[in-house]
Amino acid sequence: MRLFVAVEVPADVRAAVDAAVAPLRTAAPKLRWVAPERYHLTLVFLGAVDEALLPAVSAGMQAGCAGAAGFTLALDGTVGTFGRRVLWAGVAPSPELTTLAGRVTAALRSVVGLADEQERELRAHLTLARAKREPVRSRLVKGVSVPALSWPVGRVVLLRSAGGYEVVAEAVLEG
């Protein structure tokens, strides 16, 4: 199973982002566009995990979230690229998010044996599209922005990627 720990994005925020980047879909049809219902914010990417480890991964995520209070996230209005492969919408810096990602990563490290590349610094963003053959050109996003909307984060989910995303566990945050 391909698993990752994430924060979900509410439907109204997803719809606003989708509307804001609709012109880019027309301008760059060869990119592999993420469907709005799949927008999320990844805290920890676990990759391929043996199904037998699912209870331990779920427990590790729960442990990493234990005692964490809910908080608010916000888009920062930016649209950018990571290299020439990924088009993204930016998320405003959040100490709560960074701390939570670190706690969950630490709790899962021994469970799934995270590789160094899986433990890189959190760069909070919503992935909008990925390049297949044609690279994402930085000029594509010039002058493009998304609404700087915010939303409350009250839970963290363990998602399985298999043609779509399926919530296989959740951790409810306090407050």
pLDDT for 77-109, tens place per residue? 999 988 888 999 999 999 999 999 999 999 998
Q: State the angle between helix axes of 95-112 and 54-65 in degrees (0 to 180), rounded to the nearest 10.
A: 150
The pLDDT mean for the chain works out to 91
* pTM (whole model) above 0.95: no
Which is nearest to 144 in space by CA: 100, 97, 90? 90
Q: How many domains does the chain have?
A: 1
The pLDDT tens digits for 125-143 are: 999 999 987 788 878 888 8
CATH number, domain containing residue 151: 3.90.1140.10
* Helix boundaries (H) for 42-170: 54-65, 95-112
Which domain does 49 fall in, by range? 2-172
